Amino acid sequence: MAIAKPALAVAEPRVANARRRKLAGNILVNGVLGLICLIWTIPTIGLLVSSFRTREDISNTGWWTVLPHQEWASVSQIQLQAGLALDQPIQVAGTTVTDDQLRAGVKLPNGQLVKWANRRGRLVDVEEQRLAANANFNLDNYQNVLIGQQFTYTTADGIVHTDQGQNLGGAFVSTLTVAIPATVIPILIAAFAAYAFAWTRFRGRGLMFGMVVALLVVPLQVALIPLLQDYTRLGINGTYLALWLAHTGFGLPLATYLLFNYISELPREVLESAFIDGASQFTIFTRLILPLSVPALASFAIFQFLWVWNDYLVALIFLGGSSGTQVLTMRLADIVGSRGQDWHLLTAGAFISMLLPLTVFFALQRYFVRGLLAGSVKG
| pLDDT tens digits, one per residue of 251-298 | 899 889 888 888 888 888 888 888 888 888 888 888 888 888 888 888
Q: Tell me if 237 sits within 8 A of 231, measured CB to CB.
A: yes
Q: Tell me if 120 sits within 8 A of 67, measured CB to CB.
A: no
C-beta atoms surrounding 151 within 10 Å: 13
pLDDT at res. 35: 92
pLDDT at res. 379: 43
What H or E segment, with its residue span, contains residue 114? strand 113-118
- Cα end-to-end distance, the chain, whole Å: 56
Sheet holding 106-107, edge to edge: 69-79, 123-132, 113-118, 106-107
Indicate the pairing of strand 123-132 with strand 113-118: antiparallel
C-beta atoms surrounding 149 within 10 Å: 10
CA-closest candidate to residue 143, choices 170, 119, 121, 169: 169
C-beta atoms surrounding 102 within 10 Å: 20
CA-closest candidate to residue 305, choices 350, 365, 346: 365
pLDDT at res. 43: 87
pLDDT at res. 183: 93
Give me the tens of pLDDT residue by residue for the chain, a chain 379 residues long: 445 555 555 566 777 777 888 888 889 999 999 999 889 889 888 888 888 888 888 877 888 888 887 888 888 888 888 777 887 888 887 788 888 888 888 888 888 888 888 888 888 888 888 887 878 888 888 888 887 666 565 555 555 656 655 678 888 888 999 999 999 999 999 999 998 888 888 888 888 888 888 888 888 888 888 888 988 898 888 889 999 999 998 889 988 988 888 888 888 888 888 888 888 888 888 888 888 888 888 888 888 998 999 998 898 888 876 667 788 888 888 888 777 677 778 888 888 888 888 888 888 777 766 655 654 544 4
pLDDT in tens, 224-248: 888 889 888 988 888 899 999 999 9
Whole-angstrom distance, CA of residue 16 vs CA of residue 5: 18
Q: Tell me if 344 sits within 8 A of 55, measured CB to CB.
A: yes
Per-position b or e across 269-308, b if 16+ CB within 10 A of its CB: eebeebeeeebeeeebbeebbeeebebbbbbbbbbbbbbb
Strands (E), 80-216: 90-92, 95-97, 106-107, 113-118, 123-132, 150-154, 160-164
Please state the pTM of the whole predicted model: 0.73
Q: Tell me if 329 sits within 8 A of 357, measured CB to CB.
A: no
Q: Tell me if 132 sits within 8 A of 119, measured CB to CB.
A: no
pLDDT at res. 98: 84
Whole-angstrom distance, CA of residue 220 vs CA of residue 214: 13
